[in-house]
Amino acid sequence: MTTASLTAGGRLAGRVMERLAEATTDAPGITRVAYGPGERFAHDLVRKEAEKLGATARVDAAGNLYLTLKGRNPDLPAIVIGSHLDSVPHGGNFDGAAGVVAGLAVMAELVGQKIQPARDLILMVTRAEEAVWFPLSYPGSQAALGLLEPQALEARRSDSGRTLAEHMLEEGFDPDAVRRGVSGIDTSRIAAFIEVHIEQGPRLVAAGVPVGIVTGIAGGFRYVDATCLGAYGHSGAEPRFARHDSVLGFADLVAGLEAEWDALEREGHEATITFGRVQSDPSQHGGSRVLGELRFTLDVRSAEAAVLERIEARLQALFAEVGAKRGVVFEAGPRFTWEPATMAPALIVGLDRAAQDMQMRVPHVPSGAGHDAATFAGASVPSAMLFVRNENGSHNPHESMEIADLDQAIRLLFRFVTDFDRGHP
């Protein structure tokens, strides 16, 4: 698809994405630190573009941005389109940002076609969605709904070591109001929350289609600083029966969890189990030593709460079984959790209907990664997501979404919004 074939909104989306990339490049990718200069620039850019379209802007105590295009009847609950603009370090330009500019593009289409929706359309830009900066699940959207736990404000940013509250205050926001649970948006005033996001897996690429409708968002749990403790020993002098080898203990743990994963898949369940970091102490390890300590992280995800519970139970059993077998001790350390979220069936039906009317093939796909939409769904707000085809995964400089594919999502979302208005006079 040529640039001329894009919608006006699609062309705007392409220009904004290019500007974001230029301004936040951090070779080999881009970096937009949560509550930092890159995120601030991105929020300012989107705000200015929306205001050009006639949207009014406001910011809540946590720094979430709300851009409202007035509807014919502002007393009706609003349609909210939203995502985030922060990124992981040296990440790709599209994760989060594509969803924000898609909402901006829908606004542009409404204005360009002189359509005033029946209800307000709000483009919501959340803060700090990427947990790499603060070890929290969706602190921006949690704060927007008045749900952020007060102690979360003491979480420290990974690069600065300073707290979330300190960074909020530095950016001109009000962490004390967040601590008191002051919300930025009333859930009863939201008719639907829709998030567009690049797919972070290969399903749409494999299917050869540009857009998918998300059925649910996986929940999960994460151990960020787990340890397998054994005893250091000389590789030649320490006989096998006397060893307390943390490597073999950890290997048994991995094998045991993979066997559980295999069993779950045979039974038709989906889950992911990831050991993201495995490390030893370089001052202690050596080529001729039995390793006495191994540190690791563990990330487990599934859209089924029962599956998460089953894996957790198996993990604890393995800690005991392997510990007894290998003479090691597992210390799990801090545990972080987030709940699975099911997308609203009525909104999925509406998106399906819009796709059929447009003769678009839009398959249903799950989301293994977490998104702000999970916060809204968890707060009983009708929520939905669209995925846009994207090669090479996400959280890396090689994200490869085509603006033409995003334009298809914009067309579908625009049709959904205008159909929704007609269906809810």
Span 325-361, pLDDT tens digits: 999 999 999 998 888 899 999 999 999 999 999 999 9
| Helices 345-357 and 403-423, axial angle in degrees (round to 10) | 110
Residues 58 and 120 in one domain: yes
Residues 76 and 161 in one domain: yes
Residues 411 and 292 in one domain: no
Per DSSP, the three-state class of 9 is helix
Residue that is last in its domain, among 338, 361, 395: 338
Sites in the chain below the pLDDT cut of 70: 1-4, 422-425
What CA–CA distance (Å, rounded) separates 425 from 422?
6
- Predicted confidence (pLDDT) per residue in 233-284, tens digit: 999 999 999 999 999 999 999 999 999 999 999 999 999 999 999 999 999 8
Residue that is last in its domain, among 338, 369, 404: 338
Residue 368's domain spans which residues? 3-218+340-423
- What pTM did the predictor assign? 0.86
Count of domains forming the chain: 2
ω before 74 within 30° of 0 (cis)? no
Residues 231 and 207 in one domain: no
What CA–CA distance (Å, rounded) separates 306 from 264?
11
